[in-house]
Homo-oligomer: A and B are copies of this chain.
């Protein structure tokens, strides 16, 4: 489960009659938002290509990046999907991005009709949980330098498509500190 087969998962989801019927193909340009912090957006986004960042804006006006989704994935904001409340973070396309979106309720309904789909979604949720556990470990236990090294090592292609600024905001430091770390490591 270290690697999740998104191709297979997306195929299974998108072939389902619920989604063939209610799914809407959407294309986003670099710089466009899928949803913004403070908005309610209960849709599920199935991503076929592109690059998206999820970020928080703090009260002091700073930005910190929660996560990235690159190339393929399934995404949305749980707060809106499950609790029908505003998203605590924003989703912004860093590159042109292809999506198919549909209401979260369709997901739930479809799961009751199709046990195999339910199983696939459960596995996806668990896979996400394992990923989040790793993120928690890195934020809690690693120094900025260690976190940077781990990030580069496990996401080489992603690093090439991001700015220094966004990498720093993901690590929880300033781009200046990241520049110093790179100098130290070189």
Chain A residues packing against B (C-beta within 8 Å): 1-2, 56, 58, 62, 64, 66, 78-79, 82-83, 88, 112, 115, 118, 122, 125-126, 128-130, 132-133, 135-137, 139-141, 172
Contact of B78 with A126 in the complex, beta carbons under 8 Å: yes
Contact of A139 with B141 in the complex, beta carbons under 8 Å: no
Smallest CB gap from A129: residue in B: B78
Contact of B82 with A140 in the complex, beta carbons under 8 Å: no
**CA separation between A16 and B125, bound complex, in Å?**
24
Q: Is the interface of A mostly helix, strand, loop or mixed?
A: helix
Q: How many copies does the complex hold?
A: 2
A125 CB contacts on chain B under 8 angstroms? 122, 125-126, 129
A-B contact pairs, 6 of them (CB 8 A): A64-B140, A66-B140, A125-B125, A128-B129, A135-B136, A139-B172
A118 CB contacts on chain B under 8 angstroms? 118
**CA separation between A1 and B83, bound complex, in Å?**
7
**CA separation between A66 and B58, bound complex, in Å?**
23
A135 CB contacts on chain B under 8 angstroms? 136
Contact of A88 with B133 in the complex, beta carbons under 8 Å: yes
